[in-house]
Every structure is written in structure tokens, then in C-alpha cells.
Chain A
């Protein structure tokens, strides 16, 4: 029995030694990256930091807007210093309200020299929640002045329940036809289909006469392969990704969409 006891003690000693070695190296806990949890007591500054992330990420704002480097030929206004200017854009409208309107209802007031065409970020495909929009407003305010909004700030555009509109839903089973796909994935936010209006993206009313079916297919599935001159790159892919297009669209639906677009010859 003493042997068993000796072995037992030996095992304990060796294990204790290794446990000790484990304590001798630097100890670091790695936490998962903090997702933007909107908690009630976020200061405007914290909110602004979250907003910065949203603008470059989910909001896809920076595919069309620049911050602090105007004149790059982008189609939308530069946002550098926007926080300082916002209050003076529309008489009688506070900076916060102006920014909020620009986000919820962007085409209500369009800065001179620019075309309308920005999608409402509260709707699909961008689909920001009210809190996320508040964060974006806070960040925009911080560009040029001090952010003031908090999560308690109430805006007239906010939906009643405070919840984000639901994401586009695909009716199960029933494949959509071409126009159906076009509507369902909110393509019309950026592309005109009935006339030659230039929105964020080129009008598609003459897509069929400009592009072959294969080219249309490529333009949908890999938008950045060829970018029409004067239009921002990366925007479409980001938005289609955000709207779940690539994940959900079926081959059949894709085919109908291409057929539909190819049928648009400008007449």
C-alpha cells in the first residue's frame, strides 16, 4: 500500500508543479470583441464611438460619403465638420433634427449640387435600428461639435415600438419573378428602373441594351468587377450582402431577375 501512496503523492506533486508552471506565464483573459450593446446610460461620446463603427460597417455610409476629404468625385456630400454645419442648413431645424431627417428621410432635403438617391437607412437593405441611428447622429455631431444625443433622445421619425423594421422576407416556397426580386431586395433604392434618373447607382431602364445577360449576371453577382464610371465601388456588394440577397436568392430567382433586367432596353 505504501507504494500506492507514494505514487499518489508523486502524481500530486507533478500535477501541482505543472499547475504552478501554468501560473508563471503572463495571464491574460481574451474577451470577445464588444458588440455595440446599447445600454441606457451611454454618454454621447460613447454613443459617438459606436456610431463611428456603424458608419464604416453596417451602415455602409462611407461607400458614398467621405469624411474630411471632399472633392474625391464622390456623389454624396463630404461629412467633415457636418456637426458644426448641421444646425444651419434648414432654418428652424436643430442640428439633431436635421441629421435625423437626413437619415430617416434623406431625400426630403438635398444639399445643393447633389442628386437625391440616398436610401433611408432605417429601411432595408441597410436597416439600422433607432438606437444605431442615434449613434450615427452622435458621431456626425462629433464631427465639428460636441455630441449631445443620448439613447433617450426622441426623434419624430422613430417607429412606435422602437424596433427596427423587419428584414426583407422571402415567401417560402414561392420563387419571386424578376420585378418581385427587384422590389423585394430594394434595388430601386439605388437604381431607377423606369427612367434615366441617376440615383446612387446607374439607371437600369436601358440595362438590356447596354449589357448582355452574362454581363448583367456578373454585375449582380460581382458588382465590383466592373464599375460604371462615376459611381462608387463596393457599395452594391455591401448592400446586397447586408440585405441577405446573396444568401437567400435562388438560382431560379436570379434567372428571372436577369431576364427582367435584360428586357429593359430603354423604350
Chain B
């Protein structure tokens, strides 16, 4: 397939944006802000590439250098930071409509007005945050065009035909978004929900297209050895395209939920009235519920992704898990362990405001024990850092006990136990103020307990059994582990729903009476999510090592080396910090809608006096 020489810089723009570790972007506020930036980009791109001369033959034109240098921090770092920021906003604006819609539907089904208000409140966050997304996207585009011209030319050569549907979807997205947002309460609920569904479908499709571009860079496909395009569908449907799509949808929801929960926490801490407190307490809870629910299946999606990377190339797989980046996954384990711990912590503190939940308090220490042990197992590295003396005492850099904990069997088991434990915390929270009234209540609970115990034992058994079978079998064992955990969660939930159908309420949930520390736990979860995303962005881009497009376009710039984890950690921390400054601005702007209308000073004084 020959390159279409009449490419439009607008396509390039989106292409570049997709190359960030983010991808799924939703320019929702196209009309007021985004359109302006788009136009700027179009104009800018024409100036950056005079003559628009991107026929592929002339890609190596001497007038276009392969790289340009960004001052002080270097090209890579600036693109890295901007791309990461862009990704975080994109993830947020993609995810919020998803759970807003779900909440809206819940509201519609249960006829509970509260849910509808909450959904609208979430959607309000969108309006500002995606103009940030657009701004960052434009910035990223400019940077990539300026700093990595020849790489961008290659990407255009491969993906030119994916730009048309992208543009089309983009307009649809804008239309659905604004009709969904501005049309709140102005359509019949069914029509409005339909708009929401369409909004999500279009948003997801946009992300899928964008994902194709960036996954292609990791696992190029559908091209000849010299990089000529053979099959566009092959290039799109490369090895990790679908895994990344799935992983991103889920992770976006988790991330969006955690940010929304942080918003609730922020408002809660500032709330003056009991009513406000109750509302924002509830909002934080719902956001966190969404985040953690989406978070639970995430390790499975990650496993699928890792498997496909191995399938594509053993070298990439080993680079990722065993070589250069193996320590990164220890850091990741610490982050995710923290997430589990904080999520459970939030639930436990929340239970304090449920009358009747005291009876479950005694279980906390066992849950905590299980979490701690799993956390420790998961964070135990395979290659230990040990001094010569210690290594000699161990008989090498391999510890007989830690070595057992350092391999995949143990880690898989730990993750599954973590998931189960968190699920149990949820369950306890859920039945905090309820007492089952069905006649088979006792038996039902025993069955639940039985399933839980059996599955836990089964998961642990498989983990141990994994040490006694050959590796190919061991890899397969993770599947029954995952399935049994899923089975436990589904079946126990099913029984639970029946059990508590007409449950007797033993007490109220005293919304708004939660300790402030729970709100900080929500912040902690949001920060940790954002940081984990940043770290994973680093590894996803970093595993290509000295390639722009793995095995096809080599990175010959000064930044071809892979920086240390320590350096990445600092960049990620700074990026996340900037993100939170931005998101704080978003919170503040969103909060303006509830502000009293401006009045001249005298009037305000008067009203104060009147009140006094």
C-alpha cells in the first residue's frame, strides 16, 4: 500500500497524540477550547513542515533532520512528561462518562434521585478537564513534530488510512458529549442514557484507533523487514493492541474513579454543613467503589498483556520481566500493594460509620494479616540485593526461602489472595447494617464461607503445586487460579444478593461522619494510581529500549539509552505533581458553578449584617 501523499496535518496531530503512552483521548470540549487548539495545530504544522512535503521518498531530506534538541531537559523528557500528562487527562475524560453513565443507569433503575445528581456532578468535572486534555495534546503534537520529525513521517506512512475514521469519530464524540452534558435532564431518561452509551462507544473506538499507533511501536506487525506496510489491518491488530485496549479501558475506569473519589474527598474536607459532608462522603465512596471494582480485574488484564508480549518476542518479554526492568516490577508491586492496603483501609474506616458493622471489626486483623503477607510475597524480588557477606551466607544471590517467594507461582497466588481479601472487605462493608431475613440465611452464609475457603485453599494449592511441575504447566496454572477467584466472587455475590434481598436494617449509614483520615486514604489511592500509570508508561515505552519502532526504526538520538528507575521515578513524581496541580485547578473551576453570584461589596456587607 502506497502512502497517500495528501495527508492532513490534522491526522498527524492525532497520530502524535496517540504515540504518547496514553492514547485514548477524547477532545470533548472541541467547540470552545479544543477547536481553537486544533486550528492552531493545523496552522502550526503547516509552518513546521513547509511544503507539507511528506512524500515518503523524501523522508530523509537533509532539510529535515532526524531529531531536534529540546533545551535543558532534553527532547525525551519533555515529550515524556507532556505525553504522560496528556494521557492522564485523556484517561480521566474517557473514564468519567463510563461510570457517570453507569451511575445514571443505577439512578434510573432505582429511581433514586441522588444517583442522577451524582452522575451529573461527575460529568461536570469533564467540561474543564478535557480542555486541558486538548491543550496538552496540542503541545505534545508540536513537540513530536518538532523534535522527532523522521519518526513521525514513518508513522504517517504506515497509518495514514486510519486517520479518516478517527476524524469522523471525533466529530461524533463531540456531538454526543455535548448533547449528553448540556442535555442533562432535558431529554427523556432513555434518550439521555442512549446518548451516554453512544458517547462511550465512540470514545472507546477513538481510543482503540489511537492504541493501534502506539502498540505498533512496541510490537510492529503487518510490515516487511524493511518497514514497508503490507497490511494495515495487521499493523493495527498487532500483538498487544487488544490487550492494551482491554487493559486501558479497565485502568481508565479505575483511575477516573479514584480521581473522582479524590474530588469527593477534597469537597468533603472543605464542606461546612452536615448535608454537604454526607453528600461528598457518599461521592467519595462511590468513586472509590468504582475505582476498586475496576482495579480488581486489572492484574488479569496485565497478565494477558504480558503473555502477548512474550508471544511476540521472548527478548521483549525477558527485557520486561527478567532483565532491565525486573526491578521496576518490584516497585510496581509496592504501589499495588499500597493500593490494596489503602482500599481496604478506606472500607474499614468507612465501616465505623455504619451502625451494626462493629460485629465485623474482629475480622479486620485477619484480613490485614492476609494482605500483609501477600504484599510481602509480591514485593519480594527474585534477584536480591545482598552484600558479599550476605550472599555468601545464603550460598549465592539466591535465598532458599526468598527464592521460593520470588517466582511467578508465589506472586500469582499473592495477587489472587489480595483480590479475594479485598472482595471480602467489600462484602463485610456491604452487610454492615443488614441482617439477612431469609429462612436459609445461616446455610447461605455457610455456603459462601465454604466457597471462599475452598477457593482460597485451591489458589494456594495451585501456587504450591506450581513448584513441582515444569514451567510450561506452571504458566498454565494461573488460568485456573484466576477463574476460581472469579468464580468465587461471582457466586458469592449472587448468593449475597439473594441473602440480603429483604434484609432487616440494623442501623443506618451515618454519611458524613467518616474520619478525615479516610479522605486522605482516597487521596493516597488517587496519587498511587496516577503514579502507577506513570511508571507503567515508562516501562511500556522503555521496553522498546533503543528503538522507536521495535526492530524497525532505531533510536539514534542522544536519548537512545534507557534511563534508570530512579530517574524515571523522579520524572514520574514531577509529572504526577503537575497533574495534581492541574486537576486542582479543574476542581476549583468546577466549583465555581456553585459559587454565589458576584455582588458589589456593599451588598455583601449588607447581607452579612442582615445575617448577623
Question: Are A and B direct contacts in the complex by CB distance below 8 Å?
Answer: yes
Measured CB to CB, the residues of A under 8 A from B are 3-4, 6-7, 10-12, 14-16, 18-19, 21-23, 25-33, 246-247
Which A residues are CB-close (under 8 A) to B266? 3, 7
- Do the beta carbons of B324 and A28 come within 8 Å of each other? yes
Interface pairs (5), CB distance under 8 Å: A18-B572, A29-B562, A29-B564, A31-B560, A247-B225
Give Cα A242–Cα B387 distance, bound, in whole angstroms: 48
* Nearest CB in chain B: distance from A214 CB, A: 23
- Do the beta carbons of A26 and B385 come within 8 Å of each other? yes
Partner of A27, one of B524, B555, B561, B566: B566
- Do the beta carbons of A32 and B573 come within 8 Å of each other? no
Partner of A10, one of B523, B562, B584: B523
Contact with A along B495-508 (1 / 0, CB 8 A): 00000000000000
Which A residues are CB-close (under 8 A) to B531? 15, 18
Which A residues are CB-close (under 8 A) to B561? 29-32
B319-363 interface (Cβ within 8 A of A): 324, 327-328, 330-331, 334-335
- Do the beta carbons of A19 and B570 come within 8 Å of each other? yes
B520 within 8 A of A: yes
- Do the beta carbons of A22 and B523 come within 8 Å of each other? no
- Do the beta carbons of A27 and B226 come within 8 Å of each other? no
**Nearest A residue to B319 by beta-carbon distance?**
A30
B270 within 8 A of A: yes
Partner of A21, one of B269, B331, B560: B331
B563 within 8 A of A: yes
Q: Given that A25-B327, A29-B563, A29-B564 are known contacts, is A11 also in contact with B527, CB under 8 Å in the complex? A: yes
- Do the beta carbons of B270 and A19 come within 8 Å of each other? no
- Do the beta carbons of B546 and A14 come within 8 Å of each other? no
- Do the beta carbons of B577 and A22 come within 8 Å of each other? no
Residue from A10, A21, A23 with most neighbouring chain B CB atoms (10 Å): A21
**Nearest B residue to A247 by beta-carbon distance?**
B226
- Do the beta carbons of A11 and B569 come within 8 Å of each other? no
Give Cα A91–Cα B328 distance, bound, in whole angstroms: 62
Which A residues are CB-close (under 8 A) to B568? 22
B291 within 8 A of A: no
Known: A14-B528, A15-B527, A247-B226. 6 other contacts (CB 8 A): A3-B269, A7-B269, A23-B566, A25-B327, A25-B385, A29-B562
- Do the beta carbons of A30 and B573 come within 8 Å of each other? no
B545 within 8 A of A: yes
Which B residues are CB-close (under 8 A) to A32? 545-546, 554-555, 560-561
Which A residues are CB-close (under 8 A) to B226? 247
- Do the beta carbons of B334 and A21 come within 8 Å of each other? yes
* Nearest CB in chain B: distance from A156 CB, A: 33
Which A residues are CB-close (under 8 A) to B260? none
B93 within 8 A of A: no
Which A residues are CB-close (under 8 A) to B570? 19, 22
Give Cα A30–Cα B573 distance, bound, in whole angstroms: 21
Number of A-B contacts (CB under 8 A): 89
Which A residues are CB-close (under 8 A) to B328? 25
* Nearest CB in chain B: distance from A69 CB, A: 30
**Nearest B residue to A31 by beta-carbon distance?**
B561
B542-592 interface (Cβ within 8 A of A): 545-546, 554-555, 560-570, 572-573, 576-577, 580, 584
Which A residues are CB-close (under 8 A) to B520? 10
Which A residues are CB-close (under 8 A) to B555? 32
- Do the beta carbons of B527 and A25 come within 8 Å of each other? no
Residue from A4, A21, A27, A30 with most neighbouring chain B CB atoms (10 Å): A30
**Nearest A residue to B569 by beta-carbon distance?**
A22
Which B residues are CB-close (under 8 A) to A27? 564-567
Give Cα A23–Cα B564 distance, bound, in whole angstroms: 9
- Do the beta carbons of A18 and B546 come within 8 Å of each other? no
- Do the beta carbons of B569 and A23 come within 8 Å of each other? yes
**Nearest A residue to B325 by beta-carbon distance?**
A30
B493 within 8 A of A: no
**Nearest A residue to B555 by beta-carbon distance?**
A32
Give Cα A234–Cα B41 distance, bound, in whole angstroms: 51
**Nearest B residue to A28 by beta-carbon distance?**
B564
- Do the beta carbons of A15 and B331 come within 8 Å of each other? no
B224 within 8 A of A: yes
* Nearest CB in chain B: distance from A145 CB, A: 36
Give Cα A15–Cα B338 distance, bound, in whole angstroms: 13
- Sorted nearest first, the 6 A-B pairs with minimum C-beta distance are A22-B569, A32-B546, A27-B564, A25-B327, A30-B562, A19-B573
B259-278 interface (Cβ within 8 A of A): 266, 269-270
Give Cα A14–Cα B576 distance, bound, in whole angstroms: 11
Which B residues are CB-close (under 8 A) to A30? 324, 545, 561-562
Q: Given that A10-B523, A30-B545 are known contacts, is A25 also in contact with B562, CB under 8 Å in the complex? A: no
- Do the beta carbons of A11 and B327 come within 8 Å of each other? no
**Nearest A residue to B270 by beta-carbon distance?**
A3
Contact with A along B520-536 (1 / 0, CB 8 A): 10011001100100000
Which A residues are CB-close (under 8 A) to B331? 21-22, 25
* Nearest CB in chain A: distance from B331 CB, A: 6
- Do the beta carbons of B565 and A22 come within 8 Å of each other? yes
Residue from A25, A28, A246 with most neighbouring chain B CB atoms (10 Å): A25
**Nearest A residue to B545 by beta-carbon distance?**
A30
Give Cα A15–Cα B436 distance, bound, in whole angstroms: 44
Which B residues are CB-close (under 8 A) to A247? 224-226, 228
- Do the beta carbons of B573 and A15 come within 8 Å of each other? yes
Which A residues are CB-close (under 8 A) to B224? 247
**Nearest A residue to B556 by beta-carbon distance?**
A32
Which A residues are CB-close (under 8 A) to B327? 25-26
Give Cα A61–Cα B545 distance, bound, in whole angstroms: 30
Give Cα A19–Cα B334 distance, bound, in whole angstroms: 12
- Do the beta carbons of B577 and A15 come within 8 Å of each other? yes
Which A residues are CB-close (under 8 A) to B225? 246-247
* Nearest CB in chain B: distance from A3 CB, A: 4
Which A residues are CB-close (under 8 A) to B554? 32
Give Cα A12–Cα B576 distance, bound, in whole angstroms: 10
Partner of B523, one of A7, A26, A246: A7
Q: Given that A10-B520, A21-B331, A21-B569 are known contacts, is A15 also in contact with B385, CB under 8 Å in the complex? A: no
Which B residues are CB-close (under 8 A) to A11? 523, 527, 577, 580
**Nearest A residue to B271 by beta-carbon distance?**
A3
**Nearest B residue to A20 by beta-carbon distance?**
B569
Which A residues are CB-close (under 8 A) to B584? 4
Which B residues are CB-close (under 8 A) to A3? 266, 269-270
Partner of B566, one of A7, A14, A22, A33: A22
Which A residues are CB-close (under 8 A) to B572? 18-19, 22
**Nearest B residue to A172 by beta-carbon distance?**
B57
Give Cα A27–Cα B328 distance, bound, in whole angstroms: 10
Which B residues are CB-close (under 8 A) to A25? 327-328, 330-331, 385, 565-566
Give Cα A14–Cα B568 distance, bound, in whole angstroms: 16
Which B residues are CB-close (under 8 A) to A28? 324, 564
Which B residues are CB-close (under 8 A) to A16? 573
- Do the beta carbons of B324 and A14 come within 8 Å of each other? no
Which A residues are CB-close (under 8 A) to B564? 27-29
Which B residues are CB-close (under 8 A) to A6? 269
**Nearest A residue to B383 by beta-carbon distance?**
A26
**Nearest B residue to A241 by beta-carbon distance?**
B225
Which B residues are CB-close (under 8 A) to A4? 270, 584
Give Cα A15–Cα B226 distance, bound, in whole angstroms: 43
Give Cα A21–Cα B379 distance, bound, in whole angstroms: 12
* Nearest CB in chain B: distance from A242 CB, A: 12
Which A residues are CB-close (under 8 A) to B577? 11-12, 15
**Nearest B residue to A18 by beta-carbon distance?**
B531
- Do the beta carbons of B545 and A18 come within 8 Å of each other? no
* Nearest CB in chain B: distance from A245 CB, A: 12
**Nearest B residue to A14 by beta-carbon distance?**
B527
Which B residues are CB-close (under 8 A) to A15? 527, 531, 573, 576-577
